[in-house]
Amino acid sequence: MKQPRDLWRSVILGAFLIFMIVPVVATLIFSVSTRWDRSLWPEGYTLKWWIDVTSRPLFMLTLRNSFIASFATMLCLLVLVTPTAYWMKLKVERAKPIVELITSFSFGVPGVVLALALIRFYSNIPLPIVNHPAILVAACMVLSLPFMYRPILNALEAMDFRVLTEAAQSLGANGWSILTEVIIPNIMSGIISGCLLVFSTVFAEYTLTNLLVGTRFKTFPIYLVEWTRQDGRMASALAVISFVVAWITSLLIIWVTSKTGREAPHIAGR
């Protein structure tokens, strides 16, 4: 009975890997081909398209802007979500359904609607935020809020934070010391996972960036889309770079979660 089941698992897993890997490999081959439209295989190979697209000043500028937006969103959400989740679980756990409803707004609100709503709202407020990267970071915070909230909340629920809080209070620690020296080190795996999820989400975000700031703060996805209208081979090279960033982020998340899973029995045993 087990052998057919294992066979089916292998077949399904193999089909899934082929489905995921073949388009990426084809994109990579197309990005290094001289011409690939008259035969089954490319007529030749070259790195010319990679060199051309990555040697332009706009490549480094858009890559830098994407990193700035991703890290800014990640840090802002980290400062906002970590103490909020801890305080909610410790003091007002009945507010959990309301907080979860707020964090799930991004799943039900399309990016176009969110961008237009932010522009309409802040255009009537005397703040220099419209057409500024700050509005992009604010919008990305709303978009990626659940990706930071859920890992941190899971990490808090996986530990006995109340006992740790009471023990720290009995030793004279204040609230800030408890959060920074006791709670955060014990939920670091959730924090790292949340940061990586937020980073990967914001790095690949195109709709909000294009509508809110456009060419005034051009990011890597906008640079990629512009090249899809000019040269598919250069756009394929940029797409491969985007895939690599996503893969590295995914591997880091898998590594963090697997390391946490191995350490959990040792922590429980103590």
Locate CATH 1.10.3720.10 in the chain: 57-269
Structure tokens at 48: 């010319």
Give me the chain's average pLDDT, please: 84
pTM for this one?
Answer: 0.80
Task: Give bridge partners of residue 33 from the DSSP assignment.
Answer: 45
Rounded CA separation 139/234 (Å): 29
User: pLDDT value at position 36?
Assistant: 76
266: pLDDT confidence band, cut at 50, 70 and 90?
very low
Give residues with Cβ within 8 angstroms of 65, minimum separation 6.
133, 217, 218, 219, 220
Mean pLDDT of 241-267: 70
77 pLDDT more than 90: yes
79 pLDDT more than 90: yes
Is residue 53 within 8 Å of 59, Cβ to Cβ? yes
117 pLDDT more than 70: yes
Q: Show the CA angle centred on residue 11, arms to residues 7 and 15, nearest 5°.
A: 170
Long-range contacts of 163-167 (CB under 8 A, 24+ apart): 165/90
Lowest mean pLDDT among 51-65, 101-115, 249-263: 249-263
Mean pLDDT of 112-120: 82
- Out of 3.10.20.30, 3.20.20.140, 1.10.274.10, 1.10.3720.10, select the CATH number for domain 57-269: 1.10.3720.10
Closest of 123, 122, 121, 193 to residue 152, by C-alpha: 193
